[in-house]
Amino acid sequence: MKNTIYISIFFLFAGILCLQGQEVKPISKVEVLVRVSEKNTTIKISEEEFNAAKADYKQTNAVFLPNITASHTGISTTNPLMSFGSKLNQEILTQNDFNPALLNDPTTTRNFATKVEIQQPLINLDGFYQRKAAKSKMEAMSLKTERTQDYLIFEVEKAYMQLQLAYKAVSVLEKALEAANANKEMADNSFKQGFLQRADVLNVEIRVTEVKNQLQTAKSNVQNASNYLSFLMDDKSYVVYQPTESLTVSSIHIDNKTISENRSDIKAMHLASKGYEAMNKADKMAFLPRLNAFGSYEMYDNQLFQGNANGYLIGAQLSWDIFQGSKRFGKAQKSKAEFEKSKLEYNQYVSKSNLELNKVKRQLVDAKNRLELTDLAVQQSEESLRIRKNRFKEGLEKTSDLLMAETQFAQKQLEYYQTIFEYNFTQTYLEFLTKE
């Protein structure tokens, strides 16, 4: 038994020395929120996803803007048709070039062509709806980024409360350890005077060891909560943080709290559904013809980068892909199914959010009731401990009863602070669910 106690004490002090060797830094909730908004990796990832959607939307400008290309091509040929055409483009044909012998067997002809081409879409109905779908996706990603920021605020609130709770547990257990050590001192004195048996002293020593182990666990929870805050802030130093605000009961009104369709994630799902609808319309419009204008300006010469002869070409093209197997029909059916699926998912998501809201409201009422009961239990256990401690000093109380009262008081304190955490967290979650 003694060896077990000594080993536990050794590891306890080793853990305490390790914790004391780390830097302890006070931090406020506002400071955490500022750092998270500036450095959190999840927010940065969400912003890059929005940038990607924005870039996709910019690509759809091709529906309105022209496509312009420029080229410079050089050839050397004895092909009769190419040779005659090149000279014609260069505007250097002579009477001799119509000699049948030269036409059939021309000498080597060089031709350098500089060409600028413009293609301008005029009517591209499927492209218009694809652009609309891309815009819906971009706006949905913007709202997703906004909801991600809301979630990170909620997560900071939760993590900060966990840190506050961990420090409250340390405080309670440190006081419990002081009381246990005082009881041990009294038990040792009573044992020396012959008022207690050795078994009673060992029970007190076991209680001291138990509290020390609980205290070490609480200090580890402080480190865990601090490390999570560091993760949220993208802080690689991983110092031990100490909250500048204590864990206290907060209160909000819940009567008129409802799920709003203007909540950013719900609006994002609605926009995503609109995007699927636009893609379905785009697939249907692909059955219609397209009208595009085109033009080119060309310069020809038999010398590199020269252009003594020039000409232009302008026109318009009405094109219609009448049948591409069954590809278009299948694509239109698929986009319609995706659109219908998105509507169902939207309705399901709103319904599930309302279900969660009702559940959280009931949890909040339950937490409030537990808060009142645990507060009363702390007061009762404290009074019971005071009475038993006085009776123990007078030799009227058993050691086991005193230890039980002491344990119960510490447990009720920890339960009380845990209930405060649950009550405050439930309120924070309720605000997160109902935020517009």
For residue range 286-299, list pLDDT tens digits in order.
Answer: 888 899 999 999 99
Between 128 and 101, residue with greater pLDDT? 128
CA distances from 135 to 86, 122, 278, 363 (A): 48, 20, 10, 40
Tell me the average pLDDT across 149-175: 94
Sign of the torsion formed by the C-alpha atoms of 366, 367, 368 and 371 = positive
- Residue 272 backbone phi and psi in degrees, to 5: -65, -40
Residue 96 in this model has a pLDDT that exceeds 60: yes
For residue range 403-433, list pLDDT tens digits in order.
Answer: 888 888 889 999 999 999 999 999 999 999 9
Cα angle 96-100-105, degrees, rounded to a multiple of 5? 95
For residue range 213-269, list pLDDT tens digits in order.
Answer: 999 999 999 999 999 999 999 998 889 999 999 999 987 776 678 898 899 999 999
Token readout for 81 is 């048709």
Could you tell me the strand order of the sheet in which 109-123 lies?
67-77, 109-123, 290-301, 309-319
pLDDT of residue 40: 93
pLDDT of residue 192: 82
Closest CA to 354 of 273, 264, 260: 260
Burial per residue of 385-414, b for 16 or more beta-carbon CB atoms within 10 angstroms, e otherwise? beebbeebeeeebebeebbebbbbbbebbb
| pLDDT level of residue 18 (50, 70, 90 thresholds) | very low
Q: What percent of the chain has pLDDT over 70?
A: 94
- Distance from CA of residue 287 to its chain's centroid? 40
- Where would I find the beta strands (DSSP E) of 268-327? 290-301, 309-319
Q: What is the pTM of this model?
A: 0.81
Could you state, in order of their start, the residue ranges of all structural domains in the chain? 2-39+124-286+328-434
Class of domain 2-39+124-286+328-434 (CATH, top level): mainly alpha
Closest CA to 240 of 228, 227, 251, 252: 227
For residue range 266-287, list pLDDT tens digits in order.
Answer: 999 999 999 999 999 998 888 8
**Residue 333: how many CA atoms within 13 Å on its side-chain side?**
5
